[in-house]
Structure 1
Amino acid sequence: MQPMTIMTLQQQLDTLYQNESRKVQATLIRLLGDFELAEEAMQEAFFAALHQWPEEGLPDNPTAWLIRTGQRRGIDQIRKRQTARKYQHLADTEEAFDPEQDNDAISDDMLRLIFTCCHPSLTQEAQLALTLREMCGLTTEQVASALLQKPTTVAQRIVRAKSKIRASGIPYEVPERKELPERLGSVLKVVYLMFNEGYSGSDGEQVVKVDLAEEAIRLAGQLAGLLPEAEVCGLLALMLFHDARKAARQDDQGDLITLEDQDRSLWDADQIAIGRQWLNRAAASPAGPYTLQAAIAAAHAESGDADHTDWRQIVALYEALYQQIPSPVIALNRAVAVAMRDGPETGLALLDQLESQKAIQAYYLYHAARADLHRRLGNHKEAISAYQRALALTQQGPEQRFLNRRLSQLIRPE
């Protein structure tokens, strides 16, 4: 045990909660067999640490201490509800698990949890909502933002999903290899949504929530080792390419820097090279959606500067992607790429075709893209209106400041 001041303790606990709480909770779900009980036990473990560590000092393995304490608190709750026979079973289970020694089991618990949350007996909407809530620790409002849905709808889905897992006895395990391919699609989608929430969070003052993005990459790496299918490799490559640019996405004041203005010397060249290796493995098979997106990200990551980006290739990749997934968001990205290749007027014409799409009208990047293309064309009135609409739809501090700067430049040009 290491002695510590109250201030140091609070900092340690804040860091531990941010970085380890999802891991602690995932293991407690396995040990206690109940989502709500595991969350309650995890909170009690952190509360116990707040009171015990000032006197006892910081444990050599704080995560293991939190898991052990949470397990004991959870078992105490279960013992009050169970028969003597089950009581003895829980006692045996408590003695059998040692978080100080079972590091492999703890590291695999996040993978077990994601396959449980993505079980085929749950609807895809429930899978996504539950995994973002349990794997990422997001609030219901943040999950709703990630899924472009109402918070009340998401909350109901999460409650029903947990009830079904408990009532149906859905196993907390990684499926057998023969079952993995059919279970993989939802898992990959959830991992990518997790990465997006970490890389471009739905709200707050940070563009990049490093721990969340890194957790998604770690999970994708585990999946690639478990099942090295093309789309698993493609997703891992895609996230590595994006993550390699994180150091250049914000300035020292936390303000957003656009892709074309980023200092590319800050990009992680080694990580880009690793991403290329995974993309090459994925490219051995017919390209799926994640592999195509990874190829687009590679075209950006491997270009020397903004002026030498191969927009012709990027447009062709977006065309192929849209053939597989004809979504309005992909149509938006394709329109922006076309604007970079053929000019703002051509891009705006494509964006105009999306006006009837209800979902895209609530997406702030659609209006931000319209604003930028109007700005480039000198259409100040239209650009101002679009920037104002985009501002009303985003809750992220750096994005709001960036849009406000653009807006101020049009309203009060220097």
Structure 2
Amino acid sequence: MPGLPVQAQVERVYREESRRILATLIRLLGDFDLAEEALHEAFFIAVERWQRDGVPANPRAWLVSTGRFKVIDALRRRARFTASQPLLVAQLEALEQADWSEEDVEDDRLRLIFTCCHPALASDAQVPLTLREVCDLTTEEIARAFLSAPATIAQRIVRAKAKIRDAKIPYQVPSLAELPERLDNVLRVIYLVFNEGYSASVGETLIREDLTREAIRLGRLLMELLPEPEVMGLLALMLLHESRRPARTSASGELIVLDEQDRSLWSAELIAEGCALIERALTLGRFGPYCLQAAIAAVHAEASTAEQTDWPQIVGLYDVLLRAVPSPVVELNRAAALARRDGPLAGLTLVERILARGDLQDYHLAHSARAEFCRQLGRFDEARAAWERALELTQQAPERRFIEGRLKTLE
């Protein structure tokens, strides 16, 4: 960061470190709202102090300490003028005695994930709360991921925070005995974080590397803690998807679909690590949906060209996955694989069956798939209508430009 203006350095630290700092402050202060207030106070002070004194050697530690002591000072002032002084004094003593080290900070986000996924919280609030507090996704981004209204998601998050505070839910990684029942939602959270980074729901760029990197880091932490097959499967799945990142966009940021990617740009190191992980997971015999998805990704990764992809094996794996976790999105992905094996009419038949049931009506990829199958079959009017519907449903600039390009080919 040397050479950057101080304001730019503060902004960069906020982008890269604010969620870790918040997680540590939540642990130290025991309160989401106090921690968020402390975080913003610390960054506000940093803009002025760093201009005067220079950027500290460890900005994260400086911001944690500054935010924490700012809250302690505010509580001291409040204690002088409130009838609940004994409670505030006790709170102050606990805050002043709380200790932390840089080693603790690395695990704080994992602790925070398990807190947000505590079974005492409503199941429909656990993942939105984690995405908001751990990963700094906006309420609108989370709502799109859940196909829900932003106001509904906001209410769930507020209620979950209140429950954590009132029930004094502990801020810790659960014991090994408790881990299995807590694991499903944690895996789901990490994968949702990765997906938002892999294909951002809105914005000018397709990929948010900060989120994919963070999801993979959390996956590695979780595997160290609990080397279960599904944890390995999720980490393998993320690594295999991440291996394709350099080839997924052009130099100007335009979307490049899988069949058209330059596979020499794929990361051989990540592919090797991902394939080794999924092989290890599958040999343990207790695998589930993440292992199956990773196995599908591995088949793609092992094909040197799109034409050499083993589509019958991929369709077979989707058949197993669909039995394990029935889902219209899995059906849609299977339809795409089936179209490659049996032709576009087979894929179109399945997609139209999904849409006729009322599923995925607001999912742009379903309409894009239908459009592509119709185009391949020469049904150009239907393809145009489907792509226009997909265009209405996506708010990501590269995907919009990609669909607009497909529409132009029909002209």
TM-score, scaled to structure 2? 0.95
- Separation in structure 2 between the aligned mates of residue 375 and residue 51 of structure 1, nearest angstrom: 58
- Separation in structure 1 between the aligned mates of residue 50 and residue 190 of structure 2, nearest angstrom: 34
Q: Does residue 144 in structure 1 map to residue 146 in structure 2?
A: no
Deviation for aligned residue 1:372: 1.1
- Separation in structure 1 between the aligned mates of residue 362 and residue 86 of structure 2, nearest angstrom: 55
The match for 1:336 is: 336
Deviation for aligned residue 1:125: 1.2
The match for 2:35 is: 38
Q: Does residue 83 in structure 1 map to residue 82 in structure 2?
A: no
Q: Secondary structure at the match of 2:55?
A: coil
Q: Which amino acid aligns with 2:338?
A: V
Q: Identify the match of residue 94 of structure 1 among 61, 86, 96.
A: 96
- Separation in structure 2 between the aligned mates of residue 290 and residue 223 of structure 1, nearest angstrom: 14
- Separation in structure 1 between the aligned mates of residue 74 and residue 116 of structure 2, nearest angstrom: 24
Deviation for aligned residue 1:359: 4.3
- Separation in structure 1 between the aligned mates of residue 69 and residue 21 of structure 2, nearest angstrom: 13
- Separation in structure 2 between the aligned mates of residue 399 and residue 85 of structure 1, nearest angstrom: 54
Q: Identify the match of residue 14 of structure 1 among 11, 25, 37.
A: 11
Deviation for aligned residue 1:406: 0.7
Deviation for aligned residue 1:31: 0.7
The match for 1:387 is: 387
- Tell whether the 8 Å contact from 2:201 to 2:396 is kept in structure 1 after alignment: yes
Q: Secondary structure at the match of 1:119?
A: coil
The match for 1:317 is: 317
How do 1:180-191 residues align onto structure 2 when only pairs under 5 Å count? 180-191=179-190
- Separation in structure 2 between the aligned mates of residue 92 and residue 157 of structure 1, nearest angstrom: 29
- Tell whether the 8 Å contact from 2:20 to 2:108 is kept in structure 1 after alignment: yes
The match for 2:152 is: 153
Q: May I ask how many residue pairs the two structures share in their alignment?
A: 405
The match for 2:366 is: 366
Residues 105-152 of structure 1 deviation map (CA, whole Å, 9 limit, x = unaligned): 001100000000000011221001101111110110000011111111
- Separation in structure 1 between the aligned mates of residue 90 and residue 125 of structure 2, nearest angstrom: 35
Q: Which amino acid aligns with 1:341?
A: R
- Separation in structure 2 between the aligned mates of residue 25 and residue 237 of structure 1, nearest angstrom: 28
Q: Does residue 210 in structure 1 map to residue 212 in structure 2?
A: no
Q: Identify the match of residue 49 of structure 1 among 46, 49, 62.
A: 46
- Separation in structure 2 between the aligned mates of residue 85 and residue 362 of structure 1, nearest angstrom: 50
Distance 1:92 1:126, change over 3 A: closer
The match for 2:306 is: 306
Deviation for aligned residue 1:92: 6.4
Distance 1:95 1:161, change over 3 A: closer
Distance 1:84 1:276, change over 3 A: same
Residues 343-386 of structure 1 deviation map (CA, whole Å, 9 limit, x = unaligned): 00110001111013434001010001111111122211111111
- Tell whether the 8 Å contact from 1:374 to 1:380 is kept in structure 2 after alignment: yes
- Separation in structure 1 between the aligned mates of residue 152 and residue 93 of structure 2, nearest angstrom: 39
TM-score, scaled to structure 1? 0.94
- Tell whether the 8 Å contact from 2:250 to 2:256 is kept in structure 1 after alignment: yes
Deviation for aligned residue 1:87: 3.3
- Separation in structure 1 between the aligned mates of residue 362 and residue 217 of structure 2, nearest angstrom: 31
- Separation in structure 1 between the aligned mates of residue 139 and residue 74 of structure 2, nearest angstrom: 26
The match for 1:135 is: 134
How do 1:395-414 residues align onto structure 2 when only pairs under 5 Å count? 395-411=395-411
TM-align CA RMSD: 1.6
Q: Which amino acid aligns with 1:144?
A: A
Residues 151-171 of structure 1 deviation map (CA, whole Å, 9 limit, x = unaligned): 111011001111111111100
Deviation for aligned residue 1:251: 0.8
The match for 1:69 is: 66
Q: Does residue 249 in structure 1 map to residue 248 in structure 2?
A: yes
- Separation in structure 2 between the aligned mates of residue 76 and residue 358 of structure 1, nearest angstrom: 56
Deviation for aligned residue 1:52: 1.2
% identical equivalent positions: 53
Deviation for aligned residue 1:91: 5.0
The match for 2:235 is: 236
Distance 1:399 1:303, change over 3 A: same
Distance 1:49 1:94, change over 3 A: same
Unmatched runs of 5 consecutive residues or more in structure 2: none
Which is worse superposed, 72-81 or 359-368?
72-81
How do 1:247-286 residues align onto structure 2 when only pairs under 5 Å count? 247-284=246-283, 285-286=285-286
Q: Does residue 110 in structure 1 map to residue 109 in structure 2?
A: yes
Q: Does residue 29 in structure 1 map to residue 26 in structure 2?
A: yes
Deviation for aligned residue 1:194: 0.7
- Separation in structure 2 between the aligned mates of residue 206 and residue 74 of structure 1, nearest angstrom: 37
